[in-house]
Structure 1
Amino acid sequence: MDILFIQTDTMNSTPAATERKLFDLADLESSALAVVGVVARYEAGQVVPEHRHRRGHLIYAAEGILRIEAATGRWLVPPTAAVWLRPETPHRLMTPVTVQAQGIYIREDVAVDLPFEDCVLHVSPLLRELINAIAHLEDQHTQSRRTTLLGDLLVEELRSKPRLPFHLPWPVDPEMQQVCQALAHDPSDSTTADMWAGRLAMSTKTFYRRFQRSTGVTFGKWRQQMRLMSSLAMLLQGTPITRVALSSGYESHSAYATSFRKQFGCSPSAFVAASETEL
C-alpha cells in the first residue's frame, strides 16, 4: 500500500497528545494528473517505515533536513536539494531535525524520461517554487491548463538538474553492513580497516576488497563521505563548526573544512548560509 505518515503539529497539546496520522496515497497516485504533490511536517527523531510508491517520487525538505534510506544507499536532503527515487523503490524516511517536507509524485510513463538512478538533484529557485505550487494545489485530481503546465515545467527542470554528492552507497554484504552501521552510529569512531578485518576474522586485503566491491568506493572514501553527510544536520542546527568537526572525527576545523569543500564544493559556513537563504 502507498502510505505517508504525517506528524500533526499540536502546539498547545502535551507530547502524549501528539497524533500520528496515516494517510493512504493510493487515491492521490491514481489522479489523472501526471504530477501531484503533498505537504508533510515531521518532528525531530521521527521515522517513516519502509514503503514504496507506484510513481516516481521527488522528496524536498523545505525546512530542516531529511535522511532517506534505501537498499542502494542513504541520501540527505538539505533545503538546497531534493532526492529523486524511481517508481517502486522501497525507502524509509528519518528526520534528524524538525522538517517541513514536500513530496512530488510523477506518473510512471513520465518518470521514464527522468534519471535512471536514485539520486540527489539541485533545487533552483524556480524548481523550489514549482514544487511548492504543486504540493499546495487544492485539487490534485482535476486537470487544467495551469496544472498541466506546472507539471510539464517541473519535469523539464528535473531533466536538466545536475546530480549532487549527498549520496552514501550502502553495502549488501551483511558483514560490511555491520561495519557501516557501526560507523554511521558514531561518525567519530576511528577504528581502522586493520581492526575491522581482525574483528571479522579476515585479512586486511580481503576486507578492503569486499568493502569496495559491496559499496563501489574505498573504505576511507566511504567513511569520509559518511562523516561529512552526518555533519550536515549539526551545521543546520547551528552547532559551532569546530564542535561539528570534532564530533565528526576530524582533528581540526581546517581539516574538516578542507574535506567539506572537496566533497560539496563550498565551505561549511557557505553551505549553512545557502541553506538559510532557501528557507
Structure 2
Amino acid sequence: MKIERFDYDSLHSTPWHKHASGQLYWLSHGILVIETTSVQWTVTPGSLGWFPADVSHSAWVPAGVKGQSLYLEPASCSPFPAHPGVYGADAFVMAILERLCREGDLSSPAEYQSHLLKLLGFEIAGAPDLPLQLTLPVDRRARNVANQLLKNPACELDQTQLAQQWGLSVRNLSRLFTQQTGLSFSQWRQQAKVVTSLQWVLAGLPVSEVALRSGYSNVSAYIDVFRQRFGKTPGQFQNALLRTESRQKASG
C-alpha cells in the first residue's frame, strides 16, 4: 500500500498510462477528469475514483486540484469493484481513508491495515455508482466528434455539420452513438454538456454563465437537465461540494 498527495495546477494533464497496482483517488479541492478507452469520469470532492490494476487511462485538470491517491497491490484489490467507477464517499468511508493515511507509515500491524483495506473495498463495492461518467464511442470518427463536443460544449455545429466534418453520414453517426454509448446522439450531447459543466459549477460561476459556457441559451433548461442527471440543481450541487471541501480541509 502506498499513499501519495497531489496538487496540480489548472490544465495539468497526464499521458495515457496504467499501473500494476489498483488506484483510488479522492479530492479535497477541484475536479479531476479521468478517461479510459471507453468512458470519461469526473471525480469531485465527496466522491472516490477507483481504477483496478492494468487499466489504461489518462487524466487532466480543468482547474487546480488537490487530493490523494491510494495504490494497492493486486492481492489487496479483491474486495474492490472489478471495473473502474466513481462512488460516493460517506463519512464512514472517509474515516477509513483517514485512518489508513494516518497509519500509512506502516507503524501499525500489517494485519490491521489489511482489515481496513478489506472493509474499504466492501464499502465501495456496495456503494452505487455516481452519475459522473460519460460513455464514449470507440469508433475513431465518432470519437473525434465526441472529443470536439467535450472540448467545446457550446459548439454551434449541428449533427449534420459534425458528421460531415469527420467523414460520416448523419445516419452512421447516429447509429454509432446509439450502439456504442447506449444513448442517441442528441441525448449524449446533452449529457456531455451537463457533465462538462461541473468544472464551472465547482468554480463558483453564476449559473447563467455556466449555462452559456455549456451551450444552453435557456438557463431553466440547463437547470432542469442538471437536476435530472444529478438529482440537485447546480446551486445545490455547488453548495454540497463546498461543504465537503470545508469538512475535508478541517479534518486534514
How many percent identity over aligned positions?
A: 28
Runs of 4+ residues deviating >4 angstroms = none
Matched residue, 2:30 = 64
**Whole-Å Cα distance in 1 between the matches of residues 110 and 162 of structure 2?**
58
Structure whose residues are more often helix by fraction: 2
Matched residue, 1:107 = 73
1:142 shift after superposition: 6.4
1:66 shift after superposition: 0.7
For structure 1, the residue ranges without an aligned partner over 5 or more in a row are 1-34
User: Is residue 94 of structure 1 aligned with residue 60 of structure 2?
Assistant: yes
Matched residue, 1:241 = 207
SS in 1 for 2:156: coil
Contact 2:8 2:64 in 1 (8 A): yes
**Whole-Å Cα distance in 2 between the matches of residues 233 and 215 of structure 1?**
23
1:136 shift after superposition: 4.4
- Opposite residue 201 of structure 2, the aligned amino acid is L
**Which of 174, 184, 199 is matched with 1:208 structurally?**
174
**Whole-Å Cα distance in 2 between the matches of residues 144 and 115 of structure 1?**
22
SS in 2 for 1:263: helix
1:187 shift after superposition: 0.5
After TM superposition, the structure 1 stretch with the greater mean CA deviation from structure 2, 100-109 or 62-71, is 100-109
User: Is residue 267 of structure 1 aligned with residue 205 of structure 2?
Assistant: no
1:138 shift after superposition: 4.3
**Which of 102, 107, 113 is matched with 1:147 structurally?**
113
Contact 1:39 1:135 in 2 (8 A): no
* TM-score of the two chains, using structure 1 as the length reference: 0.81
**Which of 99, 117, 141 is matched with 1:133 structurally?**
99
Matched residue, 2:155 = 189
**Which of 233, 255, 259 is matched with 2:221 structurally?**
255
1:83 shift after superposition: 1.4
Contact 2:196 2:214 in 1 (8 A): yes
1:234 shift after superposition: 0.7
The count of aligned residue pairs is 245
1:188-210: CA deviation from partner (whole Å, max 9, x where unpaired):
11322222233344432222112
Matched residue, 2:15 = 49
Contact 1:80 1:124 in 2 (8 A): yes
* TM-score of the two chains, using structure 2 as the length reference: 0.89
Matched residue, 1:22 = none
1:258 shift after superposition: 0.3
Note the aligned Cα RMSD (angstroms): 2.0
